[in-house]
Amino acid sequence: MYYEHRKEASQQGFSLIEFLVVIVIVGILSSFVFASLVVARRKARDSVRISEKNQIIRALKTAYIDLGGWPVSNGGGTQWSCLQKSGTCWGGGHSADASLYAVLEKYINPVPVPNAVGANAATNAYLYIQNHPSSPPTVPNIGAHLLWMQEREIKQKECPGSPPQHYDAYWYCYEFLGL
């Protein structure tokens, strides 16, 4: 009788230690899941950026064919232009060009905006320049360039014409489009 009573008492529930061990294990497992989700979200954002970048390049190359040359950016083609309808971008360092935007809208509407996370200068527009002067090592080629960024490291083969640059939390590519 005593034995049966003792057995029932021990099967009534978990002890505090057992409960805490279970909580710790669940916490560790959930941290692995959340870390995987962060990486997956970063890769998804980068995939969107690559797709948008490719769409912009296609639109610019189509405009090149139709116009017989690259669309003109700010400063008669010698300054970077924000690929947006109006205003400034990249922390106020560059401005939009309405005529360039109108040209691009014929080929890609709406013109994509980067989906960056955080208060980074590059979060609000892609940059384009028609006739960038050579400035090695950042931009070794003279001609049209598109400046884009992503969160994971950009490999050299993904960034034709210039070596990828790393600033703050992002990697940047000055992609050479042509002369």
pLDDT tens-digit series, residues 93-152? 889 999 999 999 999 988 888 876 655 556 678 999 998 876 666 666 788 999 888 888
**Residue 12 belongs to some domain of the structure:** no
Give the structural domain span for 70.
17-178
Give the global pTM: 0.76
CA distances from 150 to 41, 101, 107, 147 (A): 12, 23, 24, 11
Is 4 within a domain?
Answer: no
Q: How many domains does the chain have?
A: 1
Q: Where would I find the beta strands (DSSP E) of 8-167?
A: 81-82, 88-89, 94-96, 127-132, 143-150, 165-167
Comparing CA positions, the residue from 65, 158, 50 lying closest to residue 106 is 65
Maximum mean pLDDT: which of 14-18, 39-43, 96-100, 137-141: 96-100
